[in-house]
Each structure stands twice: as structure tokens, then as C-alpha cells.
Structure 1
Amino acid sequence: MSTIKQAMAAPDRANENLAQKIEMAGSFSHEDPVSSNSSAPSDEGHEELLAWSRIRLTFRDAFSEFFGTFIMLLFGDGVVAQVVLSEETKGNYQSISWGWGLGVMLGVYVAGKSGGHLNPAVTLANCVFRGHPWHKFPIYAISQILGAMAAAAVVYGNYISAIDAFEGRGVRTVTGPTATAGIFCTYPAEFMTRTGMFFSEIVASTILQFVIFALADGGNTGAGALMPLALFFLIFGIGACFGWETGYAINLARDFGPRLVSYMVGYGHEVWSAGGYYFWIPMVAPFFGCLLGGFLYDAFIYEGKSPVNTPMLGLPRLFQFRRSVWSNTYQDPMSSRV
């Protein structure tokens, strides 16, 4: 009986084996020899791809902040260039506010994997009030500055012919009726005092961080998935309402990176000395403003974990020199990660 069953099953097994051979003949397996004319990737190329994937993962935050800031500055400096060089025939001050708002919105979309800070002062506020790892602060800040520099260089390269036509071939000025240095970084109005410059930047930066924390607060109305769009309106509003006096840099990377590029392409030492050496104010004031904005929001509105909502505002932790403490500012040592 068993012999009969085996005999009946034999044709089925033969058909299965034949089908498998036909299927294998129609496609290459990992072990099949590939002819020299085949376009299939080699094992070496596959290993290189995996190696780049590892690099991309390792530097994900750096790449994210670099390109997010790059996009922000492309639109921001780009719109200023178009308005200035066209002598306001292709836009006006409100166009600049729109352009910067769009730049921030699109930059945040690009840099979503890292949180879309795009601003060293915003990163610092997140380290202080939201437990963002301290060791990431220099990585974020350097990436943001480099992204801003790269964008300024691209904008300069794109508009170099227009700058030559506007100022004169090879002429690069910081002040005067045909100055173009303001395309890349901010300069204060002539009537501004040193105190007024500093105060103006602090006010705008405080508003920036206060509203960012409000938009990100799940316990408040929050912006959720509409965060980038909400930031568009925030930046547009700051520019439209508080931008005239100093140009609302509110961001070290946005101002210092392009200022350095403008110095390197020939605008000279005046990029540092103009406005009574104004250049240091947009480098320093945004940090004070963003810290103040974060403090005000946490002190009066925020109900989540924050050093402001701990005894003595969390100041005793500043003297606890342990890695578990300095990884962030408020998490319990048992739950902190570095």
C-alpha cells in the first residue's frame, strides 16, 4: 500500500522540483553567478550603502539641523536680496517677513528628525527647560552655523551679477545708499542706541521662545502637526511688528554665519564695526531672550516637568556634578539618558 502511495506522489514531487528549477532559472539568488554585463549591485557596493546608512544615523541630528537652517537662510537671505537688488520693484518689507516665515516653516519640516531648532538660543532653552541633552548643544549650534554659512554662500553666488549691477563690479559696501551687506546679516537703524539694540533683540527673542513653548505644549492648545505652519505666522508676526529697528536676527547662527561669509567674499572689516560693533548683540541677546521667554512660560503657564517647577527653580542641581544630572536639567537620575 505504501509503495502505491509513493508511486502516486512521485509525479507531484517531480512537478514541484521542475517548477522550482524554472523559477530559479528566471531570477538570480544571492549565490547565483552574475555576468559581467549585469547591473545588479555588488556585495562591496551593498556594504558601502550600509556604511553610509550608519554614518547618516550617527550624524542624523547634525545633518538635520544643517539642512533645516540651510533652507531657512536660503529663503530668508534670498528674499532680502530680491527686495534690495530690485530696489523694491520685486517686493517690499512685508515680502521679507513672508519670506522669512516661509523659510522657517520649510526649515522645520526639513529638520523634523532633530526637533527643528534652527537656532542655538532655542536649543539652549530646550536644554535648560525641556531636558534636551547638554552634550548635543555644541553639535546643534555648529551645524546651524555651518548651514547658515552654506546658504549665504549660495545666495551670494546666485545674486553676484545683480550685486555687481547694483553696486558696481567688485564693489562691496556695508553702509550707504547702495549697500548690500544687509542682504546677508542684520544691521541696526542709525538712530538706535546700544541699549535699544540689545533690548530690541531680547524682546523679539523672548516672544519667540515663549510662543514656541506654548505651541509645543500638549497641555495647552498646542499646534501639534501644524507646528511648522504656526511658526510661519510667529516669524511673520515678529518681523512685521518688531523687525524694523535691528532686523530681528533673534538667532546667532542666522546672523553670525552669513556675516562671516560676507566678510570672506569682500565686504571687509566694516561688517564687524558697523553700528558701533553691533555684530556681538545678535550673538548674545537671543540667548538671554530665549531663556527669559522659556522661564516666563514655565513659571506662569507650563504644568509639566521643568526646573522652574522644582524647589529653588532647580538651581541646586547646578552644583551636582554628576553625569546623570548634567545630561539635562530636570529629569530624575534614574530616568536620565545620555
Structure 2
Amino acid sequence: MELSGLAKGQFLSVNMAFGFAVTAGAYICAGVSGAHLNPAVSLSMYLLQRMTCRMMLVYFLAQFVGCFTGAALVFALYFDALHVYSGGNWTVSGTQATAGIFASYPSEHLSAFNGLSDQVIATAALMVCILAVIDDANNAAPRGLQPFVIGLVVLLVGLSMGFNCGYPINPARDLAPRIFTAMAGWGLEVFRAGGHWWWVPVLGPMIGGVVGTMIYELMIGIHHPALHKDKPEEDGEENHTRQYELVQSNA
């Protein structure tokens, strides 16, 4: 979208692509990991005692490596377009800035506090919807449709809450590509830009995931008998035939 000057992409189409990308990723790996694509979701599942601390940390690492690799592939795929658009001058701000293709940066009107609240609210909403979709005791979506429904949830979050900073809602999706751009030529300005914005899309979603989990458990979860509660297995092993634990990405 950015490289074409909005000629080959609009706000709606970009959000649709991201939502369905989450759906595709969830379908691909749901049977192995439960489709843990987001550290905020993995943390929430740990707090709900559906995985061990060791497995949560393994997922964190995998999510970071995956997002870093994805950023590198995007850079390679669109290298010529990036070069033509920016004249080979990788910049973070200004009319020809390209760093925002890889990670989030705040709009001019956005303060750090409002940005943090933006991410807490957006990720909490995402987490509430995910828990509703996978909760067998609360009219869960059919197992094979859960990735599709969660992709629609991500699309909804993007369309309704993407104005301020592009709805990162995924610490790995934002931090890993930011580190990649710092290494690929954009430099440390990617961390200084926006009043050192970089920590907001890392901390905000983690808080939001916990808040969303608490809201769902207090308002819904404790008000019906659970059909099944997964407990951590010894030695970090998990039962991968359990219900899907799904999300995006952001990203």
C-alpha cells in the first residue's frame, strides 16, 4: 500500500489481508501448537494454567524468530520497490519513510499514554473474543472454523482500532521486525522515533492480554461449569489434541 502511493491498497484491503493472514497461520500450525502466534495470548494461556512456563518461553522465542524471519522475507520480496520508492535511503519519518511498513509508529496526535491505553484496550478485546471462540462451555465456534472466526476478530480490531498506531496487538510482530529494520539500514532511529515509542506495542499488548483474560473469566468463565480445563503436563509436554488456542499476530 505504502510503496504504491495507496494505488494498490487501502485501509480496508490491508486489514483484510492481515486478518486472513492470521487465519492462514492458525490453520497451518493449530494441530501442533494450538496456533500460538502472539505472546500476549501465550501469556494468557499460561495464566489460565493451560501450558507450563517453559512452553510459554519456547513459544515466545518461536514467535520472535518467526516475526523476524517474516520481516526479512518482506524486505527481500519488495527490495526493488523499497529502493525505487525511497531512492535507497531507508528513513523512519518523512514523506518517503518506509520503516512503518515493518513495525508500528504513532500518529502525530498520539501520546505515549494514549498509545498504551490503545494497545491495552485493543488486545483485551482480542483476548476476550478468542476465549469466547474456544470456550466449549460457552457456545464455542466449531473446531474447524475457529481460525476463520479469529481472523475475522483480528479484522474487526483493525478496522475499529487501527487509526492511532496500526493496532500492533502482538509484541513479537512489532519488536522483531523493528530489530530487523535497525539491522537492515534504518538504524537505531526505529527505537527513538515517536518519543521512544517502541516499548508501547511491547508492553501494551501483554497487559491487554492479561486484562482481557481477567474480564472474560470474571464475566463469563466462572459463571458456567467448565467442560474441560487443561493442566500443564510434566516436563513441559502438552496435549496437542486439546481445544485450539488461537490468534494473530500483528503482526
Cα distance in 1, alignment partners of residues 78 and 158 from structure 2? 23
Shift of 1:229: 0.6
Shift of 1:304: 4.8
Matched residue, 2:112: 194
Q: What do the CA deviations read for 1:286-322 (whole angstroms, capped 9, x no partner)?
A: 11100110111111111356xxxxxxxxxxxxxxxxx
| Mapping of residues 144-223 of structure 1, within 5 Å | 144-169=63-88, 171-223=89-141
Cα distance in 2, alignment partners of residues 177 and 138 from structure 1? 39
RMSD: 1.7
Among the aligned pairs, what percent are the same residue? Answer: 32
Greater RCO structure (CA 8 Å; 6+ sep): 2
> Structure 1 residues 294 and 89, CA, compared in 2 at 3 Å: closer, same or farther?
same
Checking the alignment, whether the CA contact within 8 Å between 2:52 and 2:233 is kept in structure 1 is no
Cα distance in 1, alignment partners of residues 147 and 38 from structure 2? 15
Shift of 1:330: 8.8
- The answer to whether residue 126 in structure 2 is matched with residue 229 in structure 1 is no
Cα distance in 1, alignment partners of residues 225 and 39 from structure 2? 23
Which runs of at least 4 in structure 1 moved beyond 2 Å after TM superposition?
335-338
| Mapping of residues 28-107 of structure 1, within 5 Å | 83-107=1-25
Q: Give secondary structure in 1 for the equivalent of 2:129.
A: helix
Shift of 1:162: 0.4
Checking the alignment, whether the CA contact within 8 Å between 2:51 and 2:233 is kept in structure 1 is no
Cα distance in 1, alignment partners of residues 163 and 225 from structure 2? 36
Q: Name structure 2 gaps, 5 residues minimum.
A: 236-251
Cα distance in 1, alignment partners of residues 5 and 225 from structure 2? 49
**Structure of higher CA gyration radius:** 1
Shift of 1:131: 2.3
Q: Give secondary structure in 1 for the equivalent of 2:46.
A: helix
Correspondence for 2:192 among 249, 270, 273: 273
Shift of 1:184: 0.4
Matched residue, 1:294: 213
Shift of 1:104: 0.3
* Equivalent pairs, count: 230
> Structure 1 residues 330 and 148, CA, compared in 2 at 3 Å: closer, same or farther?
closer
Q: What do the CA deviations read for 1:68-94 (whole angstroms, capped 9, x no partner)?
A: xxxxxxxxxxxxxxx010111111111
Cα distance in 2, alignment partners of residues 196 and 336 from structure 1? 40
Cα distance in 2, alignment partners of residues 282 and 191 from structure 1? 17
Cα distance in 2, alignment partners of residues 336 and 255 from structure 1? 31
Q: What do the CA deviations read for 1:212-270 (whole angstroms, capped 9, x no partner)?
A: 00000011121122001101110110000001101111111100111111111100111
Q: Name structure 1 gaps, 5 residues minimum.
A: 1-82, 306-328
Cα distance in 2, alignment partners of residues 304 and 288 from structure 1? 27
Cα distance in 1, alignment partners of residues 36 and 106 from structure 2? 25
Amino acid of the residue matched to residue 287 of structure 1?
Answer: M
> Structure 1 residues 337 and 160, CA, compared in 2 at 3 Å: closer, same or farther?
same
Greater helix content: 1
Correspondence for 1:129 among 41, 45, 48: 48
> Structure 1 residues 304 and 179, CA, compared in 2 at 3 Å: closer, same or farther?
farther
Matched residue, 1:141: 60
Cα distance in 2, alignment partners of residues 88 and 140 from structure 1? 35
TM-score, length of structure 2 as denominator length: 0.88
Cα distance in 2, alignment partners of residues 337 and 208 from structure 1? 30
